[in-house]
Structure 1
Amino acid sequence: MSSDSNNLDIPAQYDASKVEDKWYQHWMENNYFHSTPDDRESFTVVIPPPNVTGVLHMGHMLNNTIQDVLVRRARMQGYNACWVPGTDHASIATEAKVVRRLREKGVKKSDLGRDEFMEHAWEWTHEHGGIILEQLKKLGASCDWDRTNFTMNPEYSESVIDVFIDLFEKGKIYRGARMINWDPVAKTALSDEEVIHKEVNSKLYHIKYKIVGENDYVTIATTRPETLLGDTAVCINPEDERYTHLKGKNVIVPLVNREVPIIEDDYVDMEFGTGCLKITPAHDENDYNIGQKHNLPTINMLNEDGTVSEEGELYIGMDRFKARKHIVKDLDEADLLLKTEDYKNKVGYSERTDAVIEPRLSLQWWVSMKELAQPALENVMDDTVEFHPAKFKNTYRHWMENVRDWCISRQLWWGHRIPAWYNEDEEFVVAKTEDEAKEKFKIKNSKHEKLRQDEDVLDTWFSSWLWPISVFDPKYIAEYQKRDPNKELDYYYPTKDLVTAPEIMFFWVARMIIAGYEYMDDKPFDNVYYTGIVRDKKGRKMSKSLGNSPDPLELIDKYGADGIRMGMLFATPAGNDLPFDEKLCEQGRNFSNKIWNAFRFLTMNMEDGVHYEPTTDINENDISDRWMSARIQETIAGVNEDFDKYKLNDAIKKIYSLIWDDFCDWYIELAKPEEYGQHISKEKLNTALGFFEQLMKLLHPFMPFISEEIWQHIQERSTEEALLITEWPKVDEYRLNKKDIQTFGVLQEMVSSLRNIRSEVNVSPKEELSVFINTKDESTAQSVSTNRIVLEKLENISSLEVGTKVEKPKVYSSSMVDGNEIYVPLEGLVDFEKERERIQKEIDRLEGFLKGIKAKLNNDGFVNNAPEAVVEKEKKKKADTEESIAKLNEQLKDFEG
């Protein structure tokens, strides 16, 4: 690289907006992100597919930055890196948005047929489906965009149906009436994991249930008085002596005047409430189980939309919460309401619509999970699939050991329609097409002329659990028993790392592992990296509804993608939440500017017409070269170890310190010419540029844009070259000289001590110092003398005396560095009177501190009861403080003399 060809086109200021789009386009045009199977080892990551309706939020920013860091480093390490992007059809969320848009046009979903509604849903998807993926490109995501998938793509959809049919034929999918979580707004069943429980302020209503044939009653306490419309019994504990007289009797359900039996079951907690329970089998899971056990009738008193049904007999068509108010009023007027009290309880809300969930008896499709889950449990617990951090294994184990059957049917139109076909007698078969269904009905000797397909669609997670398999070979599921080789699937599966949030550990992670062992007889990924939640300064999860989440694209425009990436990673250890502050992004942008200014300084030192060539060679006689080289090697080793442990925030902190502190603040300072207007020597500049190349390689996975921009400027490159495909730096054990790091570390401390002395005695950096260093041994004296240039250059030293028997000056300020004493003569530099005052003030402060330590050590209670290490620590503090006071007193005598 010559100064003529390079220096002129380096802008004075770093402008991310002009750099980031340019290099992303370059990477795309050269197809660097695309992967095809070859003889390299694969490194595969599948993106957690965002909702097709979604736009980029801060959680996506964090999650995808981490994925990109892992993928970019793997690509540089020589792996065939393949990051598969895509989106999820998100049945509930997408259908809700389509219904809302239709409503705005004055059209109800019920006015449309299924096919017409699906046309509107596809129209919405085509309009909005690619937005979030395009936004990820602004972040720098190096996905293989040619592989972009969608869970409703025809081939992918076929694989979902194939799995349903396969599991049904194995007896692992069944249809049955069970209690489910019902969302009255979305009008669909939800899984347990889609219900968010919130503590709310409720009311507890104490209601009289009159005993048949007696002038007496039992008291029932409930937070949902409207459900009494579906009561079919009252239950007591058979051991409860308070209610022995009620056995075998009946009570009257208030308002509806239905006569129901008093039953006995040890499920009832005698200590909780009144000890009497109303049993509503259709609207509470525990009540349903009791109802089944005691053969109770089931009354479904709610419609799908949360209004009272005809089975409820009263308040028909009235919204459940409005009916509650009327029921309470009517109970009170009928003298059947004993009292109402304030009550805190947890209520389930729909994750998608925020509607209050209703437990409801419903005929649904289920996956029997116990047997399927066993391999997925075992292979996580033995670390075949590793969790990072490992603490999440306990949560996973608890859920998997207590796994419940999975309700997979949803009462929606948008999604994968369940392949079940019914005849006029409501018999059904499971088949891929209507013709196949007719054949199966023939075999069963059942009617088959007029068939209808099940109206329900499959839970969205029933498609996404196949993601690591079906993105490579959707047809493999249907043909898996043949075990035909498949180049793509065999090459990329199992994938390497999954980056996701712990809240979908059961929604998605566990189910992918289950599907992997069921259909591939292998894990779907080696590692799961759990990110934390991005929270605001008050600790609240960032969300649009709270209005506490910044627009990620606006942040990128303001701070640059590199600044956002660096800022987020700097503050978020694996599995821990990120307390987001825009200052993090500012810190990232400042880091970009620091790097840019350091590089520009080097290029400005190039002499006209001189050809410069970055090198890894160093001047073995220059301690700063040896130290910087060793520090780079030490950091490479440390960063590699951090990647192995998935401690990415530790890795970026090491790189940040290496670049900002070591290279910019120390190495470049030492490289500067002694005389203003001179240039750094060609040899030194070549070495500095060689170091910069290594730094940019280390930085690239974290801050890909500025690192690429600088790397391309360091020396002339061909148009096909790019930093993202260069080799990740390897540790050079020869260059990793710990002694050089230690030697320079002592010199750094000495410089810092001299600067502290200047500050303490108020001596300007422009004032020359005479410095005396009394070293602890001859080898240190030799080392400091040999490398005295570091002290002399950085601390404006007029004379330096180093040895093991150096005489200290008469009046001085001093400090201790690693057992070596540093003295600075103060005559002619300071006002002695002020210095005496300063020293005396410091002596007074230390004596007060020492008094507190002595009091603690003279306290027998402390000495006898505190841990030995704590006592020893206090004794050392006492000795150190006494030594400091003694030295200060010596200095004071010198001043007074």
Structure 2
Amino acid sequence: MSELSKTFDPAAIEAKWYAHWEKGGLFRPARPDAAPFTIVNPPPNVTGSLHIGHALDNTLQDVVIRYERLRGKDALWVVGTDHAGIATQMVVERQMEAQQDKRTNYTREGFVEKVWEWKRESGGTITGQLRRLGCSMDWSREQFTMDPHFTKAVVKVFVDLYNQGLIYRDKRLVNWDPKLKTAISDLEVETREVQGGFWHFRYPLADGVTLDGPGMEGRDYIEVATTRPETMLADMAVAVNPEDARYQSVIGKYVTLPITGRRVPIVADDHADPELGSGAVKITPGHDFNDFEVGRRAGIAAGDMLNMFDAEANVVQTADGLIPDEYLGVGRFEARSQVVAQMKALGFLIPHVTRDKEGDETAHEAEPRTIQTPYGDRGGVVIEPWLTDQWYVDAATLAQPAIEAVKSGAIEIVPKTWEKTYFNWMENIQPWCVSRQLWWGHRIPAWFDEDGNVFVAETEEEAQAQAGNRKLTRDEDVLDTWFSSALWPFATLGWPEKSNLVAKHYPNDLLISGFDILFFWDARMAMQGIHFMKDVPWKRLYLHGLVRAADGQKMSKSKGNVVDPLGLIDQYGADALRFFMAAMESQGRDVKMDEKRVEGYRNFATKLWNAVRFAQANGIGASTTLAAPTATLAVNKWIIGEVIETLGALDKAMADLRFDAAASAIYRFVWDRFCDWYLELVKPAFVDGEKGEMDAETKLVAGWVIDQILVMLHPFMPFITEELWSAQGERPYELIVAKWPEPQAQVDVHAKAEIDWLIRLVSEVRAARSELGVPPGAKLSAIINDASAQTRARIERLGSSLSRLSRIEEWRFDETVSGGAAQIVVDEATFVLPLEGVIDIAAEKARLAKARDAADKEAKSLAGRLSNPAFVEKAKPDAVEKARADHAEKSAEAERLGAAMARLG
């Protein structure tokens, strides 16, 4: 046994123990004959730093892997980082810009080597931070999505999917970032509210046609409206609803576009909503996702759709050559202003008219609108839907087995409520664009000859063999980062090579992921895993919420409410932050950041530290038995039973992935049952001023219970538990690889009933003393009326403990009490505490009445506010939630004070 310092200092033990675990290889699976348990971490970007979302995600994973390791599993937690194509290329390019350098000064190969240099020097920040959090990952097998073996897997998957007809090249609209000059995924698009305009234009009907629909008789134009006037330069149709009576007569007719003079058809399509605006919609299939689908339904092939922008979103000539020269080379927003000005000059702009209070009219060019505008989350510019040739995966075909896997239960989604969202997206899945116009990433294994024919192969030699003597040029594009990370559960195990690791650890047992990447990563892993491995990638998928600011808002740098987990670790220790994350993680709900609670869990760790110091001071050391020691004393039988019940609750919570319930179970046991009650009950009493000696049985039981606490708490608080485990005495192994509790005992119901009765009685006496203002040092008498034989016997057996814990000098039965007294009822017996001469009873009644009335008044005021629909419906949700919490608190306070008054009679 090594003596603990007086104060608990997390920083002093965290670095020591993590280095010890990692150096000793204790995170590696090392039980070849044991059942495997495997999880993979969602690989963070190699450019990343630990944020609060990472802290939640990785804490939950570490809780699970440490728990399963303690239960004897051959536990593997695969760790690695993602090459993060766009993010990493941007970081390196920014560094080059700072040195007056740029990517285009280098060959592709030269720039890629620059990225690898950056990765070797600066790419390990987040892995060091994960260590600080205590993540017990198998660092000996750390993965990177650009490692040679991983690249081999990526290339094989691409080639196999291509040969199976599941990857193809197509011309479609993509989210195009004009700053980065690449297609980006939906995940990399963020929607911002922008103040813009809604312009209304007249499109003249061609061939002398006029409208004859209701309210439009004789009109020689169709009115359209748009938030992007510049796109009219590439309009190819006007759509109206087939059921809209106003336009029935002109379906199949034409309009002549102002400015370009292009003649375009009027088509019938349900996309046009008769209830919105004029009911007619301009269609620019080359620059709008909805219009693209309308255009295809109207029979316009993607290859024939007009493109009016270059890669930087400057205007270029369309295939039909109808855009006036003055627009060519102009940026999209400048082109917008030019179009509006020209339409106004030509008389085709319909002004937006407003009236003031006096009825005076004012004409405006556009109707003001708040527009949901897509921005690139990295480039920071407005995203342009752009028609390009890209590589696509037939996601609809790959999705079918992944849908069935969830329906059949082969994959269990927790919480189950996410299944509906999963099915809805998967059943309506769109082709997946997997090509990116970058230099950093997995280069697409495709080569083109001079006629544009494509040859896909794992190597250039194989492609050349397919092409014969034709000269080949390799595709410049790289693959979407999500394409490679979709292979994470099996490529990290060495696939496509066959190995024992793949055979043993695939499928993984569990994936823990934020719900926000359900489609971008989780669903794609399900698709690729089932397709290539013929089995699901993991048996269970746990989706957790976001970590939000204390007021419920989403954290963002712009709001200034981002919380740095490393700062919290510096202040309170990793164990406290981890326990907070687990305790607050309730299935399906976001986590609200609350630094006070993190501080509270630091206090929890300190309480445990002090409890073990108390044990050491009384000669209590490490236990030598997995089974519970033999106990004869009720208090020892009771605490053994409490261990058994806590263990059962903990195991059930972990089986159900209820992290909050698991944390709550161990917290209640440690703080309440063990520290607050057991240690008080077994504390050596003072006899004639001398401290007594703790009996041998209690020392054995207490030592065993501390060991059980350390093991059960270890997944949540690994650092303090390992330190205390070591300090308690010599061990054959570190706590991280110890054995999960096996008490091999039963709950003693009689001991449980007796000690629970004692706790209830002492708690009631303490509450009465506190509520009635009895001085802490005052000794009282207790008169017990209507006591059963069992209660009398318990008082006889437990009298000394009862007196010490509740400060009762004597216990008497069946006496009449005159004057003021407090009354407590426990089971069948009434305990009367005479208070004459101890407190001023009249003054105490007055104080209680005043406090009760104040609490009651506040509770009624809050109830009135909550019953007002205007408040509940219009106030911020957080304000309503706080009002409900305050109402509950004040109502309970009023009830408690009323009960205290009643005790006084």
> Residues 380, 891 of structure 1: CA spacing in aligned structure 2 closer, same or farther, 3 A cutoff?
closer
1:508 aligns with 2:521: yes
Instruction: For 2:640 and 2:658, locate their aligned partners in 1 and report how far apart those are by CA, in whole Å.
Output: 24
In the alignment, the residues of structure 2 paired with residue 117 and residue 846 of structure 1 have an alpha-carbon distance, to the nearest angstrom, of 70
Structure 1 distance, partners of 2:628, 2:533, is: 50
Moved more, 248-257 or 400-409: 248-257
Partner Cα separation in structure 2 for residue 13 and residue 885 of structure 1: 41
Structure 2 matches for 1:562-577, cutoff 5 A? 562-577=575-590
3-state DSSP class of the match of 1:695?
Answer: helix
Q: Does 1:287 align with 2:283?
A: no
Residue 787 of structure 1 aligns to a residue whose secondary structure is: helix
Q: What are the residue-to-residue correspondences of 1:158-173 with 2, within 5 Å?
A: 158-173=152-167
The question of whether the paired residues in 1 share the 8 Å contact of 2:621 and 2:728 is answered with no
TM-score between both structures, scaled by the size of structure 2: 0.87
Q: Does structure 1 residue 697 correspond to structure 2 residue 711? A: yes
**Residue 797 of structure 1, CA deviation:** 1.9
Range with bigger deviation, 657-666 or 213-222: 213-222
Matched, 1:131 2:125: yes
Deviation readout 1:187-207 (Å, 9 max, x if unpaired): 222334443444443311101
Instruction: After superposition, give the CA deviation of every residue in 1:286-338 in whole Å (9 maximum; x if it has no partner).
Output: 32233334455522011112222233544222222232233223333333221
CA drift at 1:752: 1.7
* 2:92 is the counterpart of 1:98: yes
Name the counterpart of 1:628.
Answer: 639
* 1:701/1:889 CA distance change after superposition, 3 Å: closer
The counterpart of 1:298, out of the listed 276, 292, 305, is 305
What amino acid maps onto 2:295 in structure 1?
Answer: G
Which region of structure 1 is more displaced relative to structure 2, 765-774 or 186-195?
A: 186-195
| Paired position in structure 1 for 2:827 | 818
Q: Which runs of 5+ in 1 are unaligned?
A: 443-447, 477-484, 852-880, 893-897
What residue in structure 2 maps to residue 548 of structure 1?
561
Following the alignment from structure 2 to structure 1, what is the Cα–Cα distance between the partners of residues 711 and 547? 28
Q: Deviations over 1:30-68 (max 9, x none)?
A: 211112561111111111100011111111111111111
Query: Quick check: 1:711 aligned with 2:725?
Result: yes
Q: Which stretch of structure 1 is more off in the superposition, 225-234 or 73-82?
A: 225-234
- Per-residue deviation at 1:687? 2.9
> Counterpart of 1:310 in 2: which secondary structure?
coil
8 Å Cα contact 1:843-1:888 kept in structure 2: no
Alpha-carbon distance change, 264 to 25 in structure 1, aligned in 2, over 3 angstroms: closer
**How far apart are 1:747 and its partner, in Å?**
1.6
- Match of 1:299, SS state, is coil
Retained in 1: the 8 A contact 2:507–2:536?
yes
Q: How many residue pairs get matched? A: 834
**Over residues 753-794 of structure 1, what are the superposed CA-to-partner deviations in whole Å (9 max), with x where a residue is unaligned?**
212232344322322221123356433443343233331120
CA separation of 1:642 and 1:217: change in aligned 2, threshold 3 A: same
**1:416 lines up with 2:442 in the alignment:** yes
Amino acid paired to 2:823: S
Q: 408, 414, 428: which one pairs with 2:454? A: 428
Distance across 1 between alignment mates of 2:635 and 2:49: 49
| Alpha-carbon distance between aligned partners in 2 of 1:402 and 1:258, rounded to the nearest angstrom | 35
Q: Secondary structure at the match of 1:13?
A: coil
CA contact (8 A) 1:568 1:584 kept: no
Q: Deviations over 1:389-422 (max 9, x none)?
A: 1111111111111122111111111111111111
Are the aligned partners of 1:813 and 1:824 in contact in 2 as well (CA < 8 Å)?
Answer: yes
Between the aligned partners of 1:828 and 1:354, the Cα distance in structure 2 is 76
Alpha carbons 1:331, 1:337 under 8 Å: kept: yes
C-alpha separation between the residues in 2 aligned to 1:847 and 1:117? Answer: 72
1:398 aligns with 2:424: yes
Distance 1:681 1:649 in 2: 36
- Per the alignment, in what secondary structure is the counterpart of residue 691 of structure 2? coil
* 2:240 paired residue among 213, 236, 239: 236
Give distance in 2, aligned partners of 1:120 and 1:308: 34
Question: CA contact under 8 A between 1:202 and 1:344: conserved in structure 2?
Answer: yes
Instruction: Check the 8 A contact 1:385/1:528 in 2, yes or no.
Output: yes
Alignment match of 2:770 (pick from 756, 759, 762): 759
1:451 to 465, 472, 489: 472
**1:854-865 correspondence to structure 2 within 5 Å:** none
Task: Write the letter of the residue equivalent to 1:601.
Answer: F
Q: What RMSD in Å do the two structures reach over aligned CA positions?
A: 3.0
CA contact (8 A) 1:847 1:885 kept: no
Q: Distance in 2 between matches of 1:172 and 1:117?
A: 32
1:56 match? 50
| Correspondence for 2:481 | 460
- Look up the match of 1:730: 742
Query: Does the CA contact (< 8 Å) of 2:684 and 2:691 recur in 1?
Result: yes
1:438 maps to which residue? Answer: 464
Q: What is the Cα deviation at residue 81 of structure 1? A: 0.8
Q: Find 2:510's aligned residue among 473, 492, 497.
A: 497
1:116 matched residue in structure 2: 110
Aligned residue in 2 for 1:871: none
Shift of 1:423: 0.8
Q: How far apart, in 2, do the equivalents of 1:678 and 1:549 lie?
A: 52
Task: Write the distance in 2 (CA, Å) between the matches of 1:239 and 1:14.
Answer: 75
Q: Is the 8 A contact 1:614 1:714 kept in 2?
A: no
Aligned to 1:681: 694
| 1:872 counterpart residue number | none
Q: Secondary structure at the match of 1:728?
A: coil
How far, CA to CA, are the matches of 2:335 and 2:707 in structure 1? 72
Work out whether residues 765 and 795 of structure 1, in 8 Å CA contact, stay in contact via their aligned partners in 2.
no
Deviations 1:475-520 (A, max 9, x none): 24xxxxxxxx521100111111111101111111111111121111
- 2: distance between equivalents of 1:835 and 1:94? 70
Choose which of 367, 377, 380 in structure 1 pairs with 2:393: 367
SS at match of 2:774: coil
Q: Hey, what's the Cα distance between the residues in 2 that align with 1:262 and 1:670?
A: 88
Determine which of 187, 190, 204 is the counterpart of 2:181.
Answer: 187
CA contact (8 A) 2:37 2:74 kept: yes
Q: 2:339 aligns with which of 320, 327, 345?
A: 327
- Letter paired with 2:72: G
Task: Look up the equivalent residue of 1:327 and give its one-letter code.
Answer: V
Q: Deviations over 1:365-407 (max 9, x none)?
A: 1111222211111111232211121111111111111122111
* 1:315 pairs with 2:327: yes
Larger mean CA deviation between 540-549 and 158-167 belongs to 540-549
Contact 1:45–1:497 (Cα < 8 Å) also in 2: yes
| Aligned match of 2:887 | none
**TM-score normalised to the size of structure 1?**
0.87
- Shift of the 279–771 alpha-carbon distance from structure 1 to 2, 3 Å rule, reads same
**Alpha-carbon offset, residue 823 of structure 1:** 0.8
Q: Provide the rounded CA distance (Å) in 1 between the counterparts of 2:104 and 2:387.
A: 24
Aligned-partner residue type, residue 367 of structure 1: V
- Whole-Å separation in 2 of the counterparts to 1:725 and 1:396: 37
In structure 2, the residue matched to 1:204 is: 198
Counterpart of 1:14, as a letter, is F
Matching residue of 1:873: none
Name the CA shift for 1:459/1:680 in 2 (closer, same or farther; >3 Å): farther
User: Structure 1 stretch 625-634 or stretch 685-694: which is displaced more?
Assistant: 685-694
CA shift in 2, pair 1:323/1:757, >3 Å: same
- Aligned partners of 2:253 and 2:727: how far apart in 1? 91
Q: Is the 8 A contact 2:631 2:701 kept in 1?
A: no
The residue type equivalent to 1:799 in the other structure is E
Aligned-residue offset at 1:261:
3.4
2:673 equivalent among 639, 654, 662: 662
SS at match of 1:511: helix
Kept in 1, the 8 Å contact 2:411–2:538? The answer is: yes
- The structural deviation recorded for 1:151 is 0.6
Alpha carbons of 1:22 and 1:302: their partners in 2 closer, same or farther (altered >3 Å)?
A: same
**Which residue identity does 1:502 align to in structure 2?**
F
Closer, same or farther in 2 for the Cα pair 1:130/1:266, shift >3 Å? closer
User: For structure 2, which runs of at least 5 residues remain unmatched after alignment?
Assistant: 209-218, 352-365, 861-893
